[in-house]
Structure 1
Amino acid sequence: MSFVLRVIINGVAIWLATALLSGLAIVGGATTLERVGVLAAVALVFSLVNAVIKPVVKLLTFPLYVLTLGLFTLVVNALMLMLTAWVTEWTTVGLRVDGFGTALIGALVISLVSLLLGAVTGVNRRKRD
């Protein structure tokens, strides 16, 4: 259930980022229901990228995290957003990112919104036995 809630939170965060940034867009879907479906698919791909690939990248780039005092997180988040856009470009629907600068700002917006929604919903809390 936690993964499903995290996908929903990522979907809301991606939707807000696409609403705020002109270089970030959800492409596809003629009706509102279809656009929501496309957004859900993009959120699922983004969540899977963050769950599977991001830990490996963080492990490999650990020295850069230490050297930049954690600011390299923004670069990794932007790369994960660009990877999501690249994966969804295989189809006619998905996420489109204009460039790295847009991905960087979009990743910052998505991270902040996800952090706030995660705190409100309690998805980030660890269960104590």
Structure 2
Amino acid sequence: MGLVCGLLAAAATAAPVAYVVEDYRIAAPLTATPGDAVRGEEIATTRALGNCLTCHVLPGDYEFPGTTGPTLVGVARRLDAGQLRLRLVDPKQINPYTMMPAYFRTTGLYRVAPEYVGKPILSAQQVEDVLAYLLTLR
């Protein structure tokens, strides 16, 4: 039995985006538009957006990658699309003690600045773009 969650998407739409968490995965894409790996790499490596470099090593010549989280080099050999999507949307469902933020979940969060309440860090399309990039990391 899956857990159905409704979240507000980014400012582009006010309609909730529902997703199902089953077997530690979100199998279905959050959007009808496929993710773009080039945009995903830009989001993942931009400190004002995904900011993945703060905690993770990514392939390429990036200054000061973090080592708090696992390396993302080869991540697509270890995890499938559904597993990665859940880690982006709501990583606390896998590890309740993780420091990784929920990039798409907007409820049940603590110490959120008032101007960000109810707003995801990344839009549904940005999540799919980052996912498309991560899936290239074999």
> Do they superpose with TM above 0.5?
no
TM-score, normalised relative to structure 1: 0.33
TM-score, normalised relative to structure 2: 0.31
